[in-house]
Chain A
């Protein structure tokens, strides 16, 4: 019999054994929230552990309970409304929840530390970064003020912040997103924690910065033997960085095992569904995405039995009867799943996926006439100062000479880090922002010269789907009003059956027409946004990150819908994205932007298989691939620093300040990068492949 806890439990009747062989162990944790709509069972009987030097990934979609379970350990879940019907947290065998509040607080931030998704809100804006870290040290250790400040500077240096002494005296708003996340990590490391909980640590960051941050975390983990609990929805990140994985769904653990077990031999239908709905950057022939139908359940009404059964294609009566318990996949194995049909899942997972249907087009894409033809597009935003009399003191060169054409019925993707000008370019093409100069031809008609009146009618041909389905629908209008407005403005024929048919086309039930946007889930709202865009049969649609705000299983649904619509109506897409896996799936051609200009453009497979520009290579290499076998042998190019200010871009090649190849050049060659801006010229081998680099050359970045 294990020794019982030293103090009588305040939460439970009977004291439970507290012995644990693990650094941190959570047993049967339940976190419920009392709401007007009933008890929300955010976490419902979850157990896990993590050991020194190990990374445990907790994976799940929105509302799976992945964050709540970790936040509970740190006392960050307010009670009320939360209640904790059961659960035990053992840190080195000591029961955390049985300790007095003051002692718990001592452990939090010293032995247990956390990194948040949004470092801007997690850092206090009115204190200097160095002082915040120093305070963190002094809260847990008895050191003097000066010693703590010195240590803070050391920590900033350790997490790779250049000029740490100066940086320590700055405020959070003076840091870039990546720098803030580094400062958060420095703060979390201040007291040498044994366990570091990282809750979506890189979700708000660009992939290149994500690669920097993850490399830093791995280095620190190796040096300090820290245990990391990585909470994320990004399966690529997990494949690249986790040792063990726990998959959560609707507050339950549905599967757990090593990285390889989960990715190569999933036994739970949900895990299998997630993996099948993923787009993969390294697959030459795109496979048909198999989205999980429906949406994650409302946690106040989790279905009886297996919570996943309403969305599961293997579901039988047995699934609906009882909540399945976690069982070992093989006798004695640590790979455990809570699925009634593990064998069917295994068979389904082995089966090769169907290739995406190829439509036999009459004319190959490249021979079709361009639907959109953009020449030398420039959009500069003047920087003005002064209250009454405004003076222009400079300009932000958001888009600086972009040319591209898109053949009818095909998709061109515009990719790049945030701030590279891709969204601005798209808006300038639609004349939502007035372009500074350049010409835009849509189906042979010049839209740059159109008067405001003619432009309005021309809008029927060029439409946009926005990134954020929560912000792009007027909250005070019903779906019917939102869709009808377009007909009122652009004068299409509107009959009683128009709106129901339109909704059906995008996969929504006709009776949703009289609902307000807030009554829909994110995926459904995005469908409304798509319905608005495709009403009145436009020729050309800008898709501005249309799936990046959606859950993985929902992303696949929306991507499939967009592809179906393209085939059915012959739409031409300009797809704006930072997620290269999605880009590889959906595009015919890809253009890579950096600081307002295109640095490389090529057909999809050429770009991914034979990238020529060092920036494209860095971008591709930074994206983790959801396959641990591939990730183990891949070489990651970690770019230093952030995107420079577009109001003051570097001379010559704009990418040279962050370029890995530039560093390897001789002084003479370097001078060329600094003095001469490279032009976009055809790359060796293909006419349809253009690159803007003096020293372009291939490098394998996709596979090992």
Chain B
């Protein structure tokens, strides 16, 4: 670069650079002998191969797997009934019988955390799944159709983003009624917008892609173009975002429960467990009471974030890396 002010990355000659300056990118431009992994093994195998190379992502995947397993089999393997109160045995510090101690009502905290996990994972996955469904549909329609469709969806997104999320959630849960379902409804209603926006942007850009025009030139209709040509190429960043947002949903639900909204008071939900520990926050030796649920939330959030990070890199077919 001849000027210090404009020194960005090294300017790469579109031709020579492709094969040369980017490490690992063995240039399709010049690449005669493109190193090729398992032939015909499909793209999932490729994605998995790239994912495996990211150590943090593998840690995240382990965490997520354990969490999901716990959510499924948890209630059958807990040492105690997570709901069973024992007023004679309250606020006991961790011991051999009660690994994480017992809470104000004498419930086994370890069993509570495991039960809470089922709740967190269920709400997290369902919320994100519904958000994806709504977000991708609206985003794809807005991006592909453009014009008035786009205008309407964009205003819709703006309106929903204008709600203060916490207040909005409280209002919705109160309006729908107590329990877990209203929480999911509230979190979906307040959470689909980013997915829609991301999808819309991707679709808008890919709509002009030359391979879309190529598909049209062989007679493909709109439906096929969107489903086969645009969405598969648009979806990667949306999925990555969704995975990160599972952690956000878990935190959001915990916040609501902390405030006493949604999940019934007797359910050992993580936010609820922290809430009941609040009076003992400054009591020496009582740290265990809030530390366990807090760590559970943190680990869950991090686990999904790590996986999302690994997905970001592995979903890009162009980043193949060396063998």
Contact = CB atoms under 8 A, between A and B. Distances in A.
A645 interface: no
Nearest to A172: B6
A114 B28 contact: no
B320 A518 contact: yes
A485 B19 contact: no
Contact of A81 (B23, B220, B320): B23
A199 interface: yes
A529 B210 CA distance: 11
Interface string B269-289: 000000000000000000000
Interface string A444-480: 0000000000001101100110111011111111000
- Secondary structure of the B contact surface, majority rule: loop
B209 interface: yes
B213 interface: yes
Contact of B43 (A474, A489, A516): A516
Contact of A67 (B13, B24, B35, B213): B13
Contact of B23 (A33, A187, A231, A459): A33
Contact of B6 (A62, A124, A473, A485): A124
B221 interface: yes
Contact of A519 (B34, B210, B232): B34
Contacts of B1: 74, 76, 114, 122
Contacts of A37: 24, 26, 35, 322-323
A294 B32 contact: yes
Interface in B3-36: 3-6, 8, 10-11, 13-21, 23-24, 26-36
Interface string B183-217: 00000000000000000000000000111011111
Nearest to A113: B2
A66 B13 CA distance: 10
Contacts of B5: 124, 127, 132, 135-136
A36 B217 contact: no
Given A298-B26, A514-B39, A67 B214 contact: no
A63 B24 contact: no
B214 A532 contact: yes
Nearest to B208: A471
B33 A36 contact: no
Contacts of B323: 36-37
Contacts of A60: 16
B20 A521 contact: no
A96 to B, nearest CB: 16
Interface in A105-150: 108-109, 113-118, 121-124, 127, 132, 135-136, 139
A118 B19 contact: no
Nearest to B12: A67
Contacts of B264: none
B321 A36 contact: yes
Interface size class of A (residues with CB under 8 A): 35 or more
Contacts of A35: 23-24, 26, 322
A300 interface: yes
Contacts of B232: 474, 476
Contact of A63 (B4, B19, B221): B19
B270 to A, nearest CB: 38
Contacts of B214: 464, 466, 472-474, 529, 532
Nearest to A463: B217
A522 B28 contact: yes
A704 B288 CA distance: 93
Most buried by A among B3, B213, B233, B320: B3
Contacts of B8: 121
A81 B21 CA distance: 8
Interface in A167-196: 187-188
B317 A62 contact: no
A624 interface: no
Contact of A68 (B4, B16, B34, B321): B16
Given A118-B14, A127-B6, 9 more contacts: A40-B23, A62-B30, A63-B16, A63-B20, A67-B15, A74-B2, A200-B13, A295-B30, A297-B33
Interface of B: 1-6, 8, 10-11, 13-21, 23-24, 26-36, 39-40, 43, 151, 209-211, 213-221, 224, 228-229, 232-233, 317-318, 320-323
30 contacts: A38-B322, A63-B18, A67-B15, A76-B1, A77-B21, A118-B14, A121-B8, A122-B6, A135-B4, A298-B30, A298-B33, A301-B33, A388-B151, A432-B213, A432-B216, A456-B221, A463-B217, A463-B218, A472-B211, A473-B214, A474-B211, A475-B233, A477-B228, A486-B218, A486-B219, A516-B43, A518-B320, A520-B34, A521-B32, A551-B15
Interface of A: 33-38, 40, 42, 60-68, 71, 74, 76-78, 81, 108-109, 113-118, 121-124, 127, 132, 135-136, 139, 187-188, 199-200, 231, 233, 294-301, 387-388, 427, 430, 432, 456-457, 459-460, 463-464, 466-468, 470-477, 485-486, 489-490, 511, 514-516, 518-522, 525, 529, 532, 551
